[in-house]
A and B are shown apart, each in its own frame.
Chain A
Amino acid sequence: MDWVIEARDIVKTYKMGDFDVQALRGVSFQIERGEVLSIMGPSGSGKSTMMNTLGCLDRPTSGEYILDGESVGEMNDDQLASVRNRKVGFVFQSFNLLSRLTALGNVELPLRYAGLTEGRRERAKAALEAVGLSDRMTHRPYELSGGQQQRVAVARALVNDPAIIMADEPTGNLDSKVGKEIMNLLLNLNKDRGTTLIIVTHDPKIAEQTQRVIRLRDGELDLSAEENGGTKK
């Protein structure tokens, strides 16, 4: 199997004053390249911690996490930044665009941190075209609708041609019609480019559209749910 993600016995502990709080208590799973997957769970289940770990925003306390062939656990901050830059595209619930920059400038941002000096504009334009925003490139975020802003964010996530796209409640701030458009956009990108898509959500309607659902409960995989065995729908 061609695993893009291999997580083995991931434990994440936070210090809360004198107490150690275990957010993840030994989670193991694999994700196949090109898969569309959702992570679900009630709040406090370790969902966000899971996303931060998979997105290389944070290191696991113990356990092994291999993203696209690179072991993340032992990396320092700058190496992690580089992995995020090359292998992970983020789509956030609240878009997180920089209001000073145009749509194009926002999409260019990951390319800047990749150290690219040439061809940035072209690649950013291509990404914006891929999300259907070729006529809004020089607009700033506040001149765009919510759906358009999220499209810019999607373009930004895919501009570096990452191994995985992490979407954290991507439709959470959008009405259902626009949310559907964004979901279709993400699913089409997965179909066209084969980019692995991981969606963190608590919306069953979103989870339904994915091939597999990982459910978390109290920092562990919820084995009572039938989807959690690597089986595909």
Chain B
Amino acid sequence: MTFLQALLEALESLNGNKMRSGLTVLGIVIGVAAVIAMLAVGNGAQASITGSISSIGTNLLFVFKGNDTGGGPPGANRGSSSGNNDRPLTLSDAEAIADPFAAPSVAAVAPAIQGNGTLTFGGEKTTTTISGVTADFAPVRNLELSEGEFINQEHELGHMSVVVLGPETADTLFGHHDGVVGETVRIEGQPFRVIGVLVAKGGGSMGSEDKNAYIPFTTAQARLIKHGSRDEVDVIFAQATTAESVTQASDEISNILRQRHRTPIGDDDFTVFTQQDFLKTFETITGVLTIFLGGIAGISLLVGGIGIMNIMLVSVTERTREIGLRKALGARKKDILLQFLTESSLLSLVGGIIGIVFGWLIAFIVGKVATATGNNFTPIVGTDAIILSTSFSAAIGLFFGIYPASRAASLEPVEALRHE
């Protein structure tokens, strides 16, 4: 018996019991479709998050108050590990980091204070993050303006009531984000003149500047965001001279802050995050998420495989006489083995192929729904997922087919022929 013959016979046999074959295949279809869709969603989430992190800027460093070496996202447990004894970051910390002799790898520094505030224009109103920033903020964070200008030193020195809006905030307030320079919005009831609108950066909700509003540091400090000490800042953004010097810059910043805060090494009351740290953190999270989702989907694939084994065992029992006859006619052990293995592999392979199409469809629909609901998120069906689930389902067909097939192959011809 050649393989082609075995294949044709398997097709004939499976075709002879369409309902049963169809239901068995369904188990594999659901399993493979689930694996494909889940991996696609996981990969999509990863791409979406890493994409939005990358858009922040490649040689960017973040300095936060509090020891946060646990690896979670910045600020997740700010102040929780060391209590409230951490010294806050201050403007003079920022100035020290900006010193080109103490920190030669740092190109620019932008301290910021942040708070939530309500913006109103006419009847529209939105609550978002208000950041008090310096003129250096735009270059450090890689921000570009679609119109108008960013906050400059003049605005800072004059404590001026001007605001730069993220495009989404502009959209919410004005219904559009062009031609809004010169309008006056109210932040917490105080009038601010719009002097610029940022270019949309996209990305997920995490780290997106599109919803923010920026006002001069001095203005925020004096009138909007209250802190215990006048000098206190929430976060210091620093730009390394090159992408390669990020680690060095991180060390320099840590040294400066340790000296200024008088903390020994290993007992920092601040945290320096680099872009790579962010990427690593989120890749770990989304990686775990993907494995988790894929694992759950894999269980359904396993259940499908057990379904195949079940059906093949029933089939072997039902066809005991046929097996006996085939052996009487000269079928060897491996002929029978091949026959039943081909049937089970065919079941899982067909299920795998249909499952890939279905999984793709599900991923596509999830992407459409996400886009329709305003999330920038595209599930990615990778070739790795396709290869993985195809080979996995074929392997399942083989694995769960081996036991029934070897049972069929080892039947004694005399016994099998006598079977009713």
Chain B: interface residue total (CB-CB under 8 A): 23
Residues of B within 8 A of A77 (CB): 332-333
CB of A78 within 8 Å of the partner chain: yes
Contact with A along B319-342 (1 / 0, CB 8 A): 001100111111111110000000
Q: Is the CB of B327 within 8 A of A98?
A: no
Q: Is the CB of A100 within 8 A of B332?
A: no
Chain A: interface residue total (CB-CB under 8 A): 26
Q: Is the CB of A100 within 8 A of B16?
A: yes
CB of B414 within 8 Å of the partner chain: yes
B2, B13, B332: the one contacting A78 at CB < 8 Å is B332
Within 365-415 of B, Cβ neighbours of A (below 8 Å) are at 412-414
Residues of B within 8 A of A101 (CB): 12
Q: Is the CB of A113 within 8 A of B328?
A: no
Q: Is the CB of A85 within 8 A of B329?
A: yes
Binds B, one of A33-41, A52-60, A196-204, A225-233: A52-60
Contact with B along A154-185 (1 / 0, CB 8 A): 00100010000000000000000000000000
Q: A96-B321, A113-B335, A117-B2 are contacts. A57–B328 as well, Cβ < 8 Å?
A: yes
Residues of B within 8 A of A78 (CB): 332-334
Question: How far apart sit A100 and B333, CA to CA, in the bound complex (Å)?
Answer: 21
Contact with A along B1-39 (1 / 0, CB 8 A): 110010000001100100000000000000000000000
Question: How far apart sit A86 and B16, CA to CA, in the bound complex (Å)?
Answer: 30
Contact with B along A92-130 (1 / 0, CB 8 A): 100010101100000001101111010000000000000
Residues of A within 8 A of B16 (CB): 100
A52, A82, A86, A114: the one contacting B414 at CB < 8 Å is A52
CB of A212 within 8 Å of the partner chain: no
Question: How far apart sit A55 and B417, CA to CA, in the bound complex (Å)?
Answer: 13
Q: A57-B413, A115-B1 are contacts. A81–B332 as well, Cβ < 8 Å?
A: yes
In this complex, the member of B325, B328, B335, B414 whose beta carbon has the largest number of chain A beta carbons within 10 angstroms is: B328
Closest to A84 in B: B330
Q: Is the CB of A100 within 8 A of B2?
A: no
CB of A90 within 8 Å of the partner chain: yes
Closest to B4 in A: A117
Q: Is the CB of A109 within 8 A of B329?
A: yes
Q: Is the CB of A81 within 8 A of B414?
A: no
Within 325-364 of B, Cβ neighbours of A (below 8 Å) are at 325-335
Q: Is the CB of A81 within 8 A of B327?
A: yes
Contact with A along B77-102 (1 / 0, CB 8 A): 00000000000000000000000000
Q: Is the CB of B2 within 8 A of A81?
A: no
Q: Is the CB of B13 within 8 A of A96?
A: no
Residues of A within 8 A of B414 (CB): 52, 57-58
Q: Is the CB of A112 within 8 A of B328?
A: no
User: What is the CB-to-nearest-CB distance from B267 to chain A, in angstroms, rounded to a whole number?
Assistant: 75
User: What is the CB-to-nearest-CB distance from A177 to chain B, in angstroms, rounded to a whole number?
Assistant: 27
User: What is the CB-to-nearest-CB distance from A142 to chain B, in angstroms, rounded to a whole number?
Assistant: 12
Q: A52-B414, A112-B1, A115-B1 are contacts. A100–B328 as well, Cβ < 8 Å?
A: no
Question: How far apart sit A16 and B31, CA to CA, in the bound complex (Å)?
Answer: 46
Contact with A along B171-185 (1 / 0, CB 8 A): 000000000000000
User: What is the CB-to-nearest-CB distance from A24 to chain B, in angstroms, rounded to a whole number?
Assistant: 14
Question: How far apart sit A78 and B326, CA to CA, in the bound complex (Å)?
Answer: 13
A57, A81, A85, A112: the one contacting B5 at CB < 8 Å is A112
Residues of B within 8 A of A96 (CB): 321, 325, 417
Closest to A95 in B: B325
Question: How far apart sit A85 and B1, CA to CA, in the bound complex (Å)?
Answer: 13
Q: Is the CB of B417 within 8 A of A81?
A: no
Q: Is the CB of B321 within 8 A of A81?
A: no
Q: Is the CB of A113 within 8 A of B1?
A: yes
Q: Is the CB of B325 within 8 A of A84?
A: no
Residues of B within 8 A of A117 (CB): 2
Q: A57-B328, A84-B330, A109-B326 are contacts. A100–B13 as well, Cβ < 8 Å?
A: yes
14 contacts between A and B (CB under 8 A): A58-B412, A58-B413, A58-B414, A78-B332, A81-B330, A81-B333, A84-B329, A84-B330, A86-B330, A98-B325, A113-B1, A113-B330, A115-B1, A156-B329
Q: What are the 7 tightest A-B residue pairs by CB atom distance, in nearest-first order?
A: A85-B330, A113-B330, A78-B332, A81-B332, A110-B329, A96-B325, A57-B413
Given pairs A55-B328, A100-B12, 4 additional interface contacts (CB within 8 A): A81-B330, A81-B333, A96-B325, A113-B1
